[in-house]
Chains A and B, each alone.
Chain A
Amino acid sequence: MSLLRNILLRREAGIAVMIVLFCLAVGMVKPQFLTLGSLRIVLLLVPLIMIGAMGQMLVIVARHVDLSIGSMLGLTAMASGMMFRHYPEIWWPLGFALSIGVGALLGLFNGLLVTMFRLPAIIVTLGTLSLYRGITFIMSNAKQIDRQYVPSALKSMSQTSPIFGIPWIIFIAFGVALLTYWFAMHTRVGRQVYALGSNPVAAPLRGINVTRVTLLVFAISGALSGLAGILYASRWGFVNPSNTGNGFEFQVIAAVVIGGVSINGGVGSVAGTVLGVLLLGCVSAALRLLGIPGTTQSAIYGAVILVALLIDRLVRMQGQKPATAGARA
């Protein structure tokens, strides 16, 4: 048992080591990469992906996948944006409630399609990806929410806070990670998600209400996409019906996979996912700092994903049989 633990611990440690080595390597070429200012840039690149990754992790652990998170982010951001535009005097934190609520509903719709009709989540969410994006265009009449309509209090959440000047948005992102950890490790429902993912056939026999747990993970994924939506408006200061959230799902899935979550369900840790997100953030920031043209950045991204997969496979082959049942911290 403790040997298995060591393997998995090695996995997260492996990613952490990769991050450290990478940063040191870049730091040798460009010392300003190792400054606090640079750390701030990295941390500001990741909050949205971190939040999305938490939701996606739960969905993938439950042996599904959610490709519609980008469109959900766009729709929820647009909903709040339109509210701000029509009611400029409104108490701005209501935007959080609206976005998260709408996101949860959208996620619930995904979950309903998957559970009621027993449809493969990958196809359902491929469909809702288009559907939600279309709805976003329709409700906004294809017009973006200009910067002046986004409350400045909301925008400043991404710039600073009373605590060492670290933007609120970073606290929120890590807070969500902590919440997810607590949910996954220390609640009964959280453990049921893992059980469901590792053996969906046996789950009902173990007293797990498969429908309810599935609906829950999709609703959570939607709600977190909603949170990411309102924070998008905070970070970038505007909402655009075609760009907002576009491609988000790929970035999130890449981070989750690098973080060691198995596509077959049942395996995955919050720590690994967080490290996966951070690794991608470091790579992103480094590429920008090194002045590597945007044209090469995608190639490097793809290579990073493949390398991470390779390392994972080699590590697994070195150790015992790949761990499939249960999950560790």
Chain B
Amino acid sequence: MLKKSLLIGLTAGMVFATGAFAQDPLKIVYIGKNTGNPYFDSITGGFEDACKSLGCEFEFVAPATAEATSQIPFIEAQIQRGVNVIGIAPNSPDALNAVLDSARAAGILVLTVNGDLTGNESHRDATILPTNFDIVGRDQVEMVGSLIGYEGEIAILSATTEAPDQNKWIVGMNETLASDPKYAKMKLVATVYGDDQPEKSTTEMEALLSNFPDLKGVIAPTTVGIAAAAQVVQSRGIAATVHVTGLGLPSEMRDFVKDGTVTAFQLWSPYNEGWLAVHFAVGVLDGSIKNEVGTTFEVPDLGTITINPNNSINTQASLTTFDASNIDDFSF
């Protein structure tokens, strides 16, 4: 009798003891580029669901405007709040260096999600990228080539002139066009910048059509740009002669695909980035994942993920192509 109650007491004591050592839930925050941007709603969805399943607390904050320094007060506030993980889509490659350093000094894990601090990677712990950025340029050229019969004039409608990811892809596109004989009959006549603003993207597209009457294809590797370009093509009814493609959100492009304005475009899954970021962060903080180049780890629904040089992680290996056959399968 005594032995039994002792045993029970001991077990209860152990349970309580481990309970006392149990962690407070991890606090994760994701700082977007700005509010009102539908792209980040998708990433946030991934964050939220992953936190629900892993039991951490999540908040999304973002400044009102996407200026270079607008995120600084938010990062300071999160440090003050004592969060464990900061995920951020940086508005500037270097303006955040000092404040991110103080975050890391406070023991916070800093992840850049969806874009990186080009040239300043030492100021963050790891980056979660949507896909392998090195091949995006090549794949986009192939995409537009297949739409125009690999022959004719094409143009690029980009975002801002300084966006590091944009510039990387544009360099890739130019290299592909120059080096691969498959695209020898295609000519890049202009690269214009819509600044990720719908109005400017629209007027730049209209200017392209007016300056280059023989234009056959437009690559817009920005969700804002491709939607604006498609809108112009749809309103003018010239889908048969001018083919628009690029990187777009299925939710924004669905109608354009259904009425034939746009045949196909590409992207990745922003949702998965958030999902992956949380799993990675939790793993690093509880010790199960080592944040070192070459490590691999498993993430539910995503399979095996590798940490690439510079602590960069790709959510998926290459771009997903969306067209009439699969456009309804996606909810973002």
Contacts and interface: CB of A to CB of B under 8 A. Distances in A.
B179 interface: no
Interface in B190-205: 193, 195, 197-200, 202-204
Lowest 9 CB-CB distances: which A-B pairs, in order? Answer: A242-B36, A241-B36, A148-B255, A142-B35, A159-B235, A237-B231, A142-B36, A288-B207, A236-B198
Contacts of B211: 32, 289
The listed residue with most B CB atoms (<10 A of its CB), out of A155, A156, A237, is A237
Given A288-B207, A294-B193, A241 B35 contact: yes
B36 A146 contact: no
A243 B38 contact: no
Interface in B32-79: 34-38, 41, 64-65
B27 interface: no
A67 B34 CA distance: 23
B187 interface: no
Interface in B261-298: none
B236 A242 contact: no
Interface in A138-171: 140, 142-144, 146-148, 155-156, 158-159
Contact of A41 (B161, B210, B235, B254): B210
A242 B252 CA distance: 18
A73 to B, nearest CB: 12
Contacts of A241: 35-36
Interface string A223-246: 000000000000011101111000
The listed residue with most A CB atoms (<10 A of its CB), out of B34, B35, B198, B252, is B198
- Give chain B's interface secondary structure class: helix
B290 to A, nearest CB: 37
A66 B203 CA distance: 27
B64 A242 contact: yes
B227 interface: yes
Nearest to B196: A243
Contacts of A187: none
8 contacts: A137-B36, A142-B35, A142-B36, A147-B255, A158-B235, A237-B231, A238-B227, A288-B203
B223 to A, nearest CB: 11
A37 interface: yes
Contact of B252 (A32, A140, A147, A158): A147
A240 B41 CA distance: 14
B214 interface: no
Interface in A115-152: 133, 137, 140, 142-144, 146-148
B251 interface: yes
Contacts of A295: 161
A294 B254 contact: no
Contact of A155 (B37, B207, B228, B235): B235
B210 A238 contact: no
Instruction: Using C-beta atoms within 8 Å of the partner chain, give the interface range for chain A.
Output: 20 to 34
Contacts of A156: 235
A37 B212 CA distance: 13
Contacts of B195: 294
A45 interface: yes
B206 interface: yes
A148 B236 CA distance: 17
A244 to B, nearest CB: 9
Instruction: Using C-beta atoms within 8 Å of the partner chain, give the interface range for chain B.
Output: 20 to 34
Interface of B: 34-38, 41, 64-65, 161, 193, 195, 197-200, 202-204, 206-207, 210-211, 227-228, 231, 235-236, 251-252, 254-255
Nearest to B210: A37
A143 B161 contact: no
B197 A243 contact: yes
Contacts of B193: 294
A54 B35 CA distance: 31
A15 B65 CA distance: 36
A242 B203 contact: no
A240 B36 contact: yes
A295 B203 CA distance: 16
A79 to B, nearest CB: 16
Interface string A107-121: 000000000000000
Contacts of A133: 64
A159 to B, nearest CB: 5
Given A38-B210, A237-B198, A241-B36, 9 more contacts: A133-B64, A137-B64, A144-B37, A146-B252, A155-B231, A237-B231, A242-B65, A288-B203, A294-B193
A100 to B, nearest CB: 22
B198 A240 contact: yes
Contacts of B207: 41, 288-289
B254 A243 contact: no
Contacts of B200: 294
A236 B200 CA distance: 10
Contacts of A140: 36
B11 to A, nearest CB: 49
Contacts of A294: 161, 193, 195, 200
A200 to B, nearest CB: 36
Contacts of B37: 144, 242
Interface string A276-299: 000000000000110001110000
B268 to A, nearest CB: 20
Nearest to A243: B197
A45 B204 CA distance: 12
A288 B38 CA distance: 28
A243 B198 contact: yes
B251 A238 contact: no
Contacts of A158: 235
Nearest to A37: B210
Given A41-B207, A148-B255, A238 B41 contact: no
A146 B255 CA distance: 11
A242 B34 contact: yes
Nearest to B160: A294
Nearest to A149: B255
A325 to B, nearest CB: 40
B231 A147 contact: yes
